[in-house]
Amino acid sequence: MTPKLFRFCLLLLILGLMSCHPYAPMDRLEKEVFLQFPYEQYAQKENQLDTLVYYTPVTLTKNLTTIETFSNRLAQIQPTDKWTTDKQALYQELSRYLSELETYFLAYQKDPSIYNLGGRLVQVLNQPKTNTEKKSSNCLQLLEGATQFYRTAQQCLQQAEPDRLKLAIQKQLATLQLLEGELVDSLRQWNLPSSQAQQFDKALYIANLSCKDYVAYCNSLLFEHRDAGLFSKD
């Protein structure tokens, strides 16, 4: 056997032993899970106050299908008493993370109250260390994204939970009060340049219409559920 062939056979042996290691399937799965769904990406998204968080129907379906595949693979891995404490903890952590991811993405299909422009605007307005220029910029960006935000919500909510519809409507009515009250007052206090004030007026008007359209959508779903006997009228 030549030295080159010997090294090749040795490499195959090492790879074979690694693949037979009891932790190998879980280690591979861990890498795939956090590569596909890095925790920092979603945490960062939630903390970006100038961004309305939502996903297209295609993205939601794709992510949920991938999560289901990962969960099925994890279920096929059977931890034993011989596993180290660290590996047993990792198994539980993977299981918990996949469950949290599933809950996170399902909410965008089932919970109409998760689409809440007003909640995001309040977060921006209540930032004590943010200057007026940054606040106004963030608010304008949120308002200009409202139409696509609520349009996508209606596309995604094919499985809207009846008991969340009332809450969703309450949140949107609070958003309308904010758009017509506190936010308008803030704009006056900010003394924005005329051109920017005009941008805000247009964005406020369109966001108001989009929010009202979403209220109508949620009300229509609520009536459908009531007619079908899926929701109590009390």
Q: Are 175 and 116 in contact (CB under 8 A)?
A: yes
Give the torsion sign (CA, 10, 11, 16, 19): positive
Say yes or no to pLDDT of 234 above 70: no
Say yes or no to pLDDT of 23 above 50: yes
The whole-number average pLDDT for the span 99-122 is 95
Which of 164, 121, 146, 123 is CA-nearest to residue 214? 146
The whole-number average pLDDT for the span 201-206 is 95
Give pLDDT, residue 230.
52
Say yes or no to pLDDT of 224 above 70: yes
Say yes or no to pLDDT of 15 above 70: no
pLDDT in tens, 33-92: 999 999 888 777 777 888 999 999 999 999 999 999 999 999 998 887 778 888 889 999
**At residue 84, what is the residue type?**
T
User: What is the domain partition of the chain in residue ranges?
Assistant: 21-110, 115-227
pLDDT in tens, 143-174: 999 999 999 999 999 888 888 999 999 999 99
Q: Are 181 and 156 in contact (CB under 8 A)?
A: no
Say yes or no to pLDDT of 21 above 70: no
Give pLDDT, residue 29.
92
Which structure tokens are listed for 11? 């490499």
